[in-house]
Each structure stands twice: as structure tokens, then as C-alpha cells.
């Protein structure tokens, strides 16, 4: 198998970009796009000179791999059909609506031998990929993700829409089970939670403070990792990271010299990197960078944060 036959299910805003990236890869062939909205599907198909499908069942005998970028509520129903047939599947985040659905997809993929990758895009940000050699044992992590309100993501709360990126990144860095969660949040511009903060304590004693808002006037995506003798600051939006390390010499008696190193990555394309990694994992038969288990773990933590905040909000409303 030298060239994968691929299709994209759900070609609204993000799915359209998935389709474009497949066409940029030498080892993939985009054979079609599919959307329940016939006009949308045909428009994207015309742009890319591929076939438009309105029923994903018609793709089963035509593809080796698919991206699923439909609404979150449909991820499970669509993905299970492709995975059961051994068709490799990339699912946009959040993986599914529930943890039980996510676990079922993982089991289906294992039985069929299909690769399952989850679209946690920030893991493929050039700045995030580059910090791995500098990660030692994180002691404290701060993440902040701010965005202006966009109705396109309002089908889920801000934890599943934005914060889940940082949950996945932090879980991947810390590599330890969660011990406890303390979360607060509130709806602001929609009926769902629009601002949230969570303090996550891990069994290895690392603590993460994670904030997300889609009720902001500015956009910001940053993470700071503090560890012994150094800390790392990642700016995902600017695609750069800075390392601050304690030097061997002292600036003044008792005050260590701080060495600062900044690295910028310019116009790197995280989505192209993500889809290329998916294609290469299939062709080389390697484990995807973001596995189904990774997606399920991030979803489980996000669900606990959501449930805790919703429980507190319900109690407050009862007291009004």
C-alpha cells in the first residue's frame, strides 16, 4: 500500500481544511468528501475536484482511511462503522460525547486492527513538539486558553471546546493518574459553560492550573511548565517557546544567573503535520502520536471538570 485512499466526513469549517491537507500529501489520495448538507459537500468537492457524498455508508468500499470532522454528537455513530470495517480513522476532538462511547471505539479498533487517532491539534504545534527534550519532571503547570466567542463551537461547553487541548497536553507531559480536581466556571454568552478554571492534582504530586474562556476580547494559548532548576514557556499562537534555566554561576551572592533561550518556528502547519502523522502511522504500522486512549483520558478529565462545575452551578441556582 503506497498511497492511501482517504475521505473526510463533515466538511464544515474544520473538515474543509482536513480535505485540503490530504491533497497536499504525496502518500495520500483524497477520493471524496461527505456531509449531510449536500450544498456544503458539493461546494468543497468542486473546490478540490473530488466526488461529493451525502451518505458515509457509500464510502466503505472506497477508502483506506477517513477523517471525521462532523458534530461531536455524531462522532461515535460514524466512527464505529468505519473502525469495525478496519478503516483507519482520525476523529476530531472531543473524541465522543461520553467516555463509554470512547472506550467502545477503542475496543472496536483493537478488534479490527484499524488505527485510531484523535485530533488534538495542539500536540502537533511545532513549539509543543520541540519541548520534549527539555521536559524533566514537571512540578507545576499553568495553562491559559482565551478565545473570542464563536457560535460554531457552542454545541459543547468551553471545557470540551477549548480546555481539552490543554488537558491532553498536560496529561501527556505529566504521565500520571489524576488524584483530585477542583473546578469553577460559569455560562456567560451561551447556555453552556463559557469560562472555566480547574486545579488538577496528579498522583506524582504535580499540580496544573488550567483556565479557558471563550468570552474574551483577545486570543491567547500559553502553557508554562515549572520544574527543578528551569521553567518553560510555550506560546502556541506564536509557535515559539522560551526556556529559563538556572545557570552554574551567580549574578550576585545567593542569586543564580538565569539563562534564557528562545526558539521560534514561523509558519509551520500543525494540521498538515497532524494528518501527515496519521497517514505515516498507517503506512509504517506505528502507534499514532495521539491515540484513542489519549483522547479518552482527556475526555474523562474534561467530563469530571464539567460535572463538578455544573453541579456547583445547579446548587447556586437553587439557592437564588
What DSSP element (H or E) covers 156?
none
Question: What domains lie within the chain, and their CATH numbers?
Answer: 4-114 (3.40.50.720), 123-268+301-319 (3.30.360.10)
Check: CB of residue 65 under 8 Å from CB of residue 89. Answer: yes
Place of cell 509557535: 239
Beta strand 140-146 with 220-227: parallel, antiparallel or unpaired? antiparallel
Burial class (CB in 10 A: 0-12, 13-18, 19+), 201: middle
DSSP label at residue 8: E
Given this model, what pLDDT does residue 161 score?
Answer: 94
Residue 121 CB neighbour total at 10 angstroms? 19
Would you call the peptide bond into 94 cis, given omega within 30 degrees of 0 as the criterion?
A: yes
Given this model, what pLDDT does residue 153 score?
Answer: 63
DSSP label at residue 67: E
Tell me how many degrees the CA angle 163-268-290 measures, rounded to the nearest 5: 45
Nearest to 18 by CA among 65, 60, 63, 68: 68
Task: Quote the pTM value.
Answer: 0.93
**Which mean pLDDT values do the consecutive 10-residue runs of the chain (320 residues) have?**
90 95 97 96 97 97 98 96 99 97 99 98 96 96 94 82 97 97 95 96 98 94 96 96 84 76 88 98 98 98 97 74
Tell me how many degrees the CA angle 78-164-133 measures, rounded to the nearest 5: 110
Distance between CA 114 and CA 291 in Å, rounded?
12
What DSSP element (H or E) covers 249?
strand 240-252
Given this model, what pLDDT does residue 225 score?
Answer: 98
Check: CB of residue 125 under 8 Å from CB of residue 161. Answer: no
Distance between CA 106 and CA 85 in Å, rounded?
14
**Residues contacting residue 296 through CB under 8 Å, at least 6 positions apart:** 95, 99, 102, 103, 106
Where are any strands of DSSP class E within 51-130? 51-53, 65-68, 88-92, 116-119
Cell of 91: 476523529
User: Distance from first CA to last CA of the chain, Å, rounded?
Assistant: 63
Nearest to 115 by CA among 310, 307, 308, 277: 277
Place of cell 449536500: 38
Given this model, what pLDDT does residue 255 score?
Answer: 73
Amino acid at each position: 500500500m503506497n498511497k492511501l485512499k482517504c475521505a473526510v466526513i463533515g466538511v464544515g469549517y474544520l473538515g474543509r481544511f482536513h480535505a485540503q491537507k490530504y491533497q497536499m500529501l504525496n502518500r495520500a489520495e483524497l477520493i471524496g468528501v461527505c456531509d449531510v448538507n449536500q450544498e456544503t459537500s458539493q461546494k468543497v468537492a468542486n473546490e478540490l475536484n473530488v466526488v461529493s457524498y451525502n451518505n458515509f455508508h457509500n464510502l466503505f468500499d472506497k477508502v483506506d482511511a477517513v477523517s471525521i470532522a462532523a458534530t461531536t454528537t455524531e462522532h461515535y455513530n460514524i466512527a464505529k462503522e468505519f473502525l469495525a470495517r478496519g478503516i483507519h480513522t482520525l476523529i476530531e476532538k472531543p473524541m465522543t460525547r461520553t467516555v463509554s462511547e470512547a472506550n467502545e471505539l477503542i475496543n472496536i479498533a483493537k478488534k479490527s486492527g484499524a488505527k485510531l487517532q484523535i485530533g488534538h491539534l495542539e500536540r502537533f504545534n511545532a513549539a509543543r513538539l520541540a519541548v520534549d527534550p527539555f521536559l524533566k519532571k514537571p512540578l507545576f503547570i499553568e495553562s491559559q486558553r482565551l478565545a473570542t466567542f464563536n457560535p460554531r463551537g457552542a454545541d459543547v461547553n468551553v471545557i470540551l471546546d477549548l480546555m481539552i487541548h490543554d488537558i491532553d497536553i498536560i496529561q501527556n507531559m505529566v504521565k500520571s493518574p489524576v488524584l483530585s480536581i477542583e473546578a469553577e466556571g460559569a455560562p456567560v454568552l451561551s447556555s453552556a459553560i463559557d469560562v472555566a478554571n480547574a486545579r488538577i492534582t496528579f498522583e506524582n504530586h504535580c499540580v496544573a492550573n488550567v483556565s479557558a474562556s471563550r468570552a474574551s476580547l483577545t486570543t491567547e494559548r500559553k502553557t508554562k511548565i515549572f520544574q527543578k532548576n528551569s521553567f518553560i514557556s510555550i506560546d502556541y499562537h506564536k509557535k515559539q517557546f522560551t526556556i529559563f534555566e538556572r545557570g552554574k554561576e551567580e549574578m550576585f551572592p545567593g542569586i543564580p544567573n538565569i539563562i534564557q533561550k528562545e526558539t521560534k518556528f514561523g509558519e509551520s502547519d500543525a494540521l498538515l503535520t497532524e494528518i501527515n502523522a496519521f497517514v505515516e502511522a498507517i503506512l509504517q504500522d506505528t502507534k499514532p502520536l495521539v491515540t484513542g486512549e489519549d483522547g479518552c483520558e482527556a475526555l474523562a478529565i474534561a467530563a469530571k471538570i464539567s460535572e463538578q462545575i455544573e453541579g456547583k452551578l445547579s446548587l447556586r441556582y437553587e439557592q437564588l
